[in-house]
Structures are given as C-alpha cells and as structure tokens.
C-alpha cells in the first residue's frame, strides 16, 4: 500500500499539493511511520488564493512560509471521515487548531469542505478539501 505522500502524488487533482510538499521536503517527513491525516487542498483550492501567491510561496526564499501553510493541513494520528464530529477540535503538526463542523451532510475543516473521503495510505489518510486552510 502507498504511503500518504504517494497517495497525494497519485491524485491528479492534488498536483499543486504534491509539488509544494516536495518543494519544502515535507514529503520525507510524511513518508515516515505516522499515522498522519492530511487535509489536502485540491488544485482548484490553490487556484482560489490571490493571484501569484503560490508562485511566491514556491520560491526558495519562502520555504518557511510554505512549510507553515502546508503544516496547517496535517494532523498527527489517523482521522477517518466517519470519525469527524461536529465541533471537534484537531491540532495540526504546527500546533494550530482546526475546527470541524458537520451540517447538512457536509463536513468542513476551518471552512474548507471535505470533498474526498478516506484516501488511505499505509501511514495515514488523505482527505481532499476545496479551500486552502490559512491561519491568521
């Protein structure tokens, strides 16, 4: 079975996430034992960012900012779709809090709608989301 990085790389809708994870070296961390839960923004989600933002973040001098942004989408431990509950709090690998909302048959994480359930890897699970989770 593929690890979570390989799951992201294999999903054609997660090309920007794949490129970003590799650019900052997060792929080697996420290939380890885990388990990890990744709320992976789709290419459409990255497209919603202000014009030029991803291009700027992918520059070498912005590696730390991009790493911080990507870490907002990674939670240690295995959290499957069925495990997500309304008003649940999840803590990202960089210590930020994610808020889970369940309403009208939809699950959102800090406002990002889960689109793809439980793309399982050998060391965790990947959920596609429609919005990049940015922390203020």
* Within a domain: 134: no
Question: What is the overall mean pLDDT for the chain?
Answer: 94
Domain count, the chain: 1
Q: Which residues are within 8 A (CB) of 51 and not within 5 positions of it... i.e. 6 or more apart?
A: none
Q: How far apart are CA 129 and CA 61, in angstroms?
A: 27
Q: Is residue 121 situated within a structural domain?
A: yes
Other beta carbons within 10 Å of 127? 22
68 vs 20: CA distance, rounded Å: 11
pLDDT at 117: 80
Q: Which domain holds residue 27?
A: 4-129
So what's the pLDDT on residue 135?
Answer: 77
CATH number assigned to the domain comprising residue 14: 2.30.180.10
Does 136 reside within a domain? no
- pTM reported for the whole predicted model: 0.95
Q: Which residues sit opposite 116 in a β-bridge? A: 128
In a domain, 72, yes or no: yes
pLDDT tens digits, one per residue of 38-79: 999 999 999 999 999 999 999 999 999 999 999 999 999 999
Tens of pLDDT, residue by residue over 19-35, are 999 999 999 999 999 99
Is 135 inside any structural domain?
no
């Amino acid at each position: 079975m593929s690890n979570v990085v390989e799951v992201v790389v294999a999903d054609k809708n997660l090309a920007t996430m794949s490129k970003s994870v590799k650019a900052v070296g997060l792929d080697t961390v996420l290939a380890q034992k885990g388990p990890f839960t990744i709320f992976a923004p789709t290419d459409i989600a990255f497209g919603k960012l202000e014009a030029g933002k991803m291009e700027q973040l992918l520059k070498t001098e912005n590696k730390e900012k991009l790493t911080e942004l990507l870490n907002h989408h990674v939670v240690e431990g295995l959290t499957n779709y069925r495990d997500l509950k309304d008003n649940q709090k999840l803590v990202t690998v960089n210590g930020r809090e994610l808020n889970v909302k369940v309403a009208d048959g939809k699950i959102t994480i800090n406002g990002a709608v889960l689109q793809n359930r439980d793309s399982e890897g050998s060391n965790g699970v990947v959920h596609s989301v429609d919005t990049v989770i940015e922390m203020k």
